[in-house]
Structure 1
Amino acid sequence: MSRLSSSGPQTADAPTPEDAFHETAALSDRDREPRHGAAADGPMLAADGTPLKKSLARALRAQKLRALALIAPLLIFVLVTFIAPIADMLFRSIENQIVQDTLPRTTAVVQDWNPDTGEPPSEAVYEALYRDLFLAAEARRHTRLGQRLNYEETGMSSLFRGTGRDVDDFGEANVETLEDLDDRWEEAAFWVELTSGEGGEGVVDAARERYMRLADLSSRSPLGDVWCAVKGVFAETCDVAPEDVDLGFSLSGTFAETFPRTAEAYAEFAVFMALEEGETVADDEPWEAVYVALDQDLRALSPEELAAYDGPNADALRAAQEALAEVPPVDFRAAFLNSDEDWADIDNWRTIQTYSPPYTTGYFLNAVDMQKTPEGPALRDADERIYGLLFQRTMFMSLVITFSCILLGYPVAWILANLPMRQANLLLILVLLPFWTSLLVRTSAWKVMLQQQGVINDVLVWLGLVADESRLIMINNQFGTIVAMTHILLPFMILPLYSVMQTIPPSYLRAAKSLGATNWTAFWRVYFPQTVPGIGAGSILVFILAIGYYITPEIVGGTTGTFISNRIAYHISSSLNWGLAAALGTILLVVVLVLYWAYDKIVGIDNVKLGG
C-alpha cells in the first residue's frame, strides 16, 4: 500500500479511497477479536475460563471460611464458658417456675382469692393444694418448694416439710371405709380392671407432663436422638425418654369422664410408678390420694347418674357410694390446719399467690433490699437492709485498692522503665514472682502477718512503736482486705504502666528541662500525661478484678471486709438461693458495664494502652 510522505507534495503512491476503506475494515475486525483472558462479547475471564468477578468472589468466600474455621474453636470456647453462663445467670435471676411446676392446680385457683378480705382461701384452694402436695411429697420435691418460698416468708420451709409428712393421713376415715367395705379395694388388679380402657390418653398425657415438670425431667431433644442413633451403631443403648416410657396402663375415657378426679389421681400414680419406681400400676395398690379422689367423685354423682354407669365393677362403685354417704366428706381446710395452724396465715397464702407466676422480679427486689407487698415494691426494714451496704462497701474498697495500686505501682514502673535492661529484667522477675505462688498461699501469708500475734505486730512491739497490750487489729476488717488485695493486684497495675513508660523517649524530659522547666514541671506537664493511658489500662484491670474478688476477702475480711461476691458465693453454696445470687451477679455486671461506659465517656477507651 502506498504511503504519504511526512513532508512534501503528494506523489503517485498516495492512498486511494479503496485503500482507506480496506484499512478501516481491518482495524474494526482487529478490535472485535477477543483479547487474552476475555470472551468476545462478555466479561474478563480467569485462567480456568470462569468470569473473573465470580472467581474473585469464590476466592474471597473460601478465604473467609478458612478464617472462620481458624477462630471457630475459640468462638465455641467463649460461647460455652462465657456467654452461656452469663445467659444462664440472667435467666435464673427472673426464673420462678418451681412454684407453678410443684403446685399447678393451686397456683391456678389461688389467683381468685383476695387477701384483702383477711380470710384464708376457699375449700377449693385447699383441695387443690392437697392434690398437688401429695404428688410432690411422694416425689420428694415439696421441700424444694418450701425452701424457695422460705426466701420470701420465713417459716414456709418447715411448713411444707411438716405437712408433707402428714398429707398421707388426710381423709384416712374415708379410705378405711372403702377398704373395710370390700377387700378388693386394696388389690392392685381390681383398680386396673376398674380404670382400664381406651380414650383416656389425654388425661394420662397431662399427668405425665405434670410429673415431668415436677421432677425436672426433660424430653429428649433431636440432638439426643442423633446421639442415641450413634450409640446404637456401637451396640450401646440409650435410656428411654420420659415421654416414651410405657406405663403398662391405658385409661378408660368413660371412667375419666365419670370420675375425673380419680382418673387424674390414678394417672399420676401410674406415671410415678413407671418413671420413678420402674414398675406398673399392677404391682401395687394406689395411693391414699386416689381413694380420696374417688370419695369426692362418688359424692359429686347422684345415685341415678352412677346407676347409668356400666363400666367394670360398677356394682362395687355403687356400694362404695352408699357406704361413703355414712362418713363425713374430707374437710381439706381442717386437715391442713390440724397439720399446721400456719396454713390459716394470710401472709403464707399471699406469698404463694405472689410468687405463682413462672417469672418474677422478686430476686432483684431482694437484691436491692426491697420486697413485694400488696401495695407494690417497698423497702425492707432498716435492720434487714444488707445488700445496699455490701454494694457500697465493694465499690469503696475496690476504688481504694485501685488508687493504692496506682500510688505503689507508678514509682516501681518508672524505675523499671529507666533502669538498664539487665537490672530492669531482674526487677521485673521480682514483680512477676508472686504469680508463681498460689493465691490461697499468698492470702494465708497475709493472715499470718497481719494478725495480732503476727510478724508485723511483733516488729512494731519490738521497735517500741506499739505496746504489747495494745497490738493493732489489722485482720478480719477492711484494712486487712485492702492490704492483701493491693499486694495481690499490684502487678496488674505495674505491667501496663511499665509497657507504656518504655515507649516514652527520655529526650522529652531533657528537652523540657533545657527549656527551663523544673523537674516537677517536666514530669507533670510532659511525662505524666503520656502515662495516663497506662494508668487507665491498669485501673480497669485492677478495679474489675477487685470488684469480683472472693477468696482474699473471705479469708482476711471478717465481717466488715467482705465483698458482695462473698454473699453471692454464700447463696450459691450454702443457702442455695441461686435466683438471688444470679440477681446480685447481674447487678454487679451492670454496675461494671456502667462504670466502663462512664470511663469511656470521660477518658476514652481508645486512650487506654498496654504499650506500643
Structure 2
Amino acid sequence: MTEARFEYGFIKVGFTMSVSSIDAPACVDTLAVAHYQSSRRKRWVSMLLLLPLLAYTCVFFALPIGMMFYRAVSNPELLQAFPTAIRTMVDEPAKDSTALPTDRVFDALEQDFINAPSNAVIGEAARRLNYENSGYRFLVMNTARTYRTPLANPESQSARERLAAIDERWISPQVWEDFRRASPAYTPYYLLAALDLKQTDQGVAPVEESQRVYLDLTFKTLKIALIVSLLCLLLGFPFAALMVKASPALQVLLFLAVMLPFWTSLLARTTAWIVVLQDKGIVNTLLLRFGLIDHPLPMIFNLSGVYIVMVHILLPFSVLPLYNVMKNIPPHFMRASASLGAHPIRGFMQVYLPLTLTGIGSGTLLTFIVAAGYYVTPTLVGSAREQMLGYFIAFYTNTTVNWGMASALGLVLISCVMVIYLLAARLVGIRQIAGLR
C-alpha cells in the first residue's frame, strides 16, 4: 500500500493505493510505444504538409540551376552531327596534335556529311566549331551544301582529296586540332570563356587582351550593385526611422510612397524617368528656369541615370526590412541611454544601430542580389558602357541562342552573389540576416 498527498490551493487531498498489482515496466513500455506512434504520425503529417513546398523548390529552383550547370559544360553539337568521325578519331588517334588524321577519319567525316540527319544539326555543329576559330561556320556549311548532291565519281578520288577540293582547310592540322578540342561531350570551354580564359595545348591561358570582356563586366556589375545597395541603405535608413516615428496618417502616406514602385510596371517606371531626366525633361527645365545651371545636365543614358533609376526602383527592398526591425525596438532604450549620460550619437551607435543590424543585413543583401541581376533598366537608361552581366546573359539566351555561354555567365553571377552572401553572413551572422534573432 502507498499513501500519497498533494495540495491544490487551500484544498488538501490524500489517498492510498495499492501498487502490488501494477507492472511498472509494462506501463513504461506501453507509454513509450504510444508516444512513438503519436510522434511518428505527427512527423508524417509535417512531411506531407511540406511536400508542396519541397516540390515547388525542386521544380522551380533546384532543377533550373541544375540545368544551368549542365548547359555550362554540355557539348553535344559535334557528337550529334559527326558521330562516326569522332568515334573513328578516338579509335585511331593522330600521332601528335600537328598531324592529320588517318584516311578512315576522312571517310567517316564524309559519310557523316552525306548521312546528316538535318541541316539544323549541321548548323549547330558549325556554330560550335566557329567558337574555336572564326570562319569554321562557312567551312562546315559549304561542305554540307556540296554533299547534298550525289558524288559524280566516288571511286576516282579519296575522301581526303574530295574534302580538300571543297576547301583546303580540311587538310590543315589547325582545323583538326580545333575539331578534336570541340568534339568531347563535355567541355570547360564556356566556363573558361566566361573568365576570359581559353584552353590550349599547353593548358589554360588568358585570352588576348582585346578579347577580355567578361571579367571587367563582372566587376562592373558587382560595383554597380554594391553602390546601389549602399545608396538604398543611406536613403532607406532615415526613411524607415521616419516611418516609425511618424503619425498614423503620415505613416500611411510614407508607406504608399515606398510601395508605389511595386504597383507600376518596370517599363513604365523606367520610361517615366527618361522623361524626367532627359535634357528637356522636368529636372533640367526647372534648373534652367531658376538659373541654377547654364546648360542641361547629362542625367540620362549614362552611369548617373542608372544609379538614380535603380535606387528608386530598389529602395523598397531596403526600407521594408529596416522598418520591420525598427518598429519592434522599444523606444525607451534610447531614453535609458540618455538618462545614463550617453550622448545621442553614442546612444545611437552603441544601442540603436546594433539592434537594426538584422534589417541592415537582410535589406542590403536583398537589394544587392536583385541589383546584380538587373539588365532592363541599364539597357534603357544607360549607354553601352553601363551594360551589366544580365544583359549579356539575356543576349546569349534570346539572340544568339548560345545556352552554354549564357549558363556559364549565370554561374559566374551566382558564384559572386554566394561569395557576397557568405561574407555578409560572416560579418553580420546568418541568423541576423534571416531575421531569426
Does the pair score TM above 0.5? yes
Shift of 1:114: 4.6
Matched, 1:437 2:230: no
Which whole-Å deviations, capped at 9, do the CAs of 1:239-268 have from their partners, x for residues lacking one?
xxxxxxxxxxxxxxxxxxxxxxxxxxxxxx
Matched, 1:44 2:27: yes
Select which of 286, 306, 309 maps to 1:484: 309
Select which of 148, 157, 165 maps to 2:145: 165
> Hey, what does 1:500 align to over in structure 2?
325
Decide which structure has greater strand share: 2
CA distance in 1, matches of 2:201, 2:149: 35
Tell whether the 8 Å contact from 2:80 to 2:121 is kept in structure 1 after alignment. no
C-alpha spacing 1:545/1:125, structure 2 compared with 1 (3 Å):
same
Query: 1:456-605 to 2 correspondence within 5 Å?
Result: 456-468=283-295, 471-605=296-430
Larger mean CA deviation between 403-412 and 583-592 belongs to 583-592
> Hey, what does 1:371 align to over in structure 2?
198
Tell whether the 8 Å contact from 2:240 to 2:322 is kept in structure 1 after alignment. yes
C-alpha spacing 1:120/1:609, structure 2 compared with 1 (3 Å):
closer
C-alpha spacing 1:580/1:114, structure 2 compared with 1 (3 Å):
farther
C-alpha spacing 1:336/1:41, structure 2 compared with 1 (3 Å):
same
CA distance in 2, matches of 1:152, 1:363: 11
C-alpha spacing 1:440/1:115, structure 2 compared with 1 (3 Å):
farther
Select which of 33, 40, 51 maps to 1:61: 40
> Hey, what does 2:3 align to over in structure 1?
none
Name the TM-score, length of structure 1 as normaliser.
0.65
Q: SS at 1:151's partner residue?
A: helix
Residue identity (%): 34
Q: SS at 1:96's partner residue?
A: coil
CA distance in 2, matches of 1:346, 1:459: 67
CA distance in 2, matches of 1:611, 1:603: 12
> Hey, what does 2:175 align to over in structure 1?
348
Select which of 204, 229, 233 maps to 1:402: 229
Name the TM-score, length of structure 2 as normaliser.
0.89
Shift of 1:67: 1.6
CA distance in 2, matches of 1:515, 1:76: 54
Tell whether the 8 Å contact from 1:496 to 1:611 is kept in structure 2 after alignment. no
C-alpha spacing 1:120/1:452, structure 2 compared with 1 (3 Å):
farther
Shift of 1:465: 3.1
> Hey, what does 1:133 align to over in structure 2?
113
CA distance in 2, matches of 1:379, 1:461: 50
Which whole-Å deviations, capped at 9, do the CAs of 1:513-539 have from their partners, x for residues lacking one?
333333323322332222222111111
CA distance in 2, matches of 1:168, 1:427: 70
Shift of 1:587: 1.7
Shift of 1:464: 2.6
> Hey, what does 1:181 align to over in structure 2?
none
Q: SS at 1:173's partner residue?
A: coil
CA distance in 2, matches of 1:465, 1:110: 74
C-alpha spacing 1:436/1:42, structure 2 compared with 1 (3 Å):
same
Select which of 180, 189, 193 maps to 1:362: 189
Q: SS at 1:517's partner residue?
A: coil
Q: SS at 1:560's partner residue?
A: helix
Tell whether the 8 Å contact from 2:199 to 2:205 is kept in structure 1 after alignment. yes
Shift of 1:138: 4.4
> Hey, what does 1:78 align to over in structure 2?
57
CA distance in 2, matches of 1:107, 1:611: 56
Shift of 1:86: 0.5
Tell whether the 8 Å contact from 2:276 to 2:283 is kept in structure 1 after alignment. yes
Query: 1:136-285 to 2 correspondence within 5 Å?
Result: 136=116, 138=118, 140-169=120-149, 171-174=151-154
C-alpha spacing 1:345/1:559, structure 2 compared with 1 (3 Å):
farther
Tell whether the 8 Å contact from 2:237 to 2:322 is kept in structure 1 after alignment. yes
> Hey, what does 2:208 align to over in structure 1?
381
Which whole-Å deviations, capped at 9, do the CAs of 1:384-416 have from their partners, x for residues lacking one?
011001101001101100110011111101111
Cα RMSD of the aligned pairs, angstroms, is 2.3
CA distance in 1, matches of 2:436, 2:311: 23
Tell whether the 8 Å contact from 1:571 to 1:581 is kept in structure 2 after alignment. yes
Matched, 1:106 2:106: no
Tell whether the 8 Å contact from 1:171 to 1:330 is kept in structure 2 after alignment. no
C-alpha spacing 1:513/1:60, structure 2 compared with 1 (3 Å):
closer
Structure 2 gaps, min length 5: 1-17
Tell whether the 8 Å contact from 1:499 to 1:610 is kept in structure 2 after alignment. no
C-alpha spacing 1:610/1:53, structure 2 compared with 1 (3 Å):
closer
C-alpha spacing 1:433/1:31, structure 2 compared with 1 (3 Å):
closer
Structure 1 gaps, min length 5: 1-29, 175-327
Select which of 233, 248, 254 maps to 1:421: 248
Larger mean CA deviation between 509-518 and 405-414 belongs to 509-518
Matched, 1:606 2:431: yes
The structure with the largest alpha-carbon Rg is 1
Shift of 1:549: 1.4
> What letter is aligned with 1:168?
R
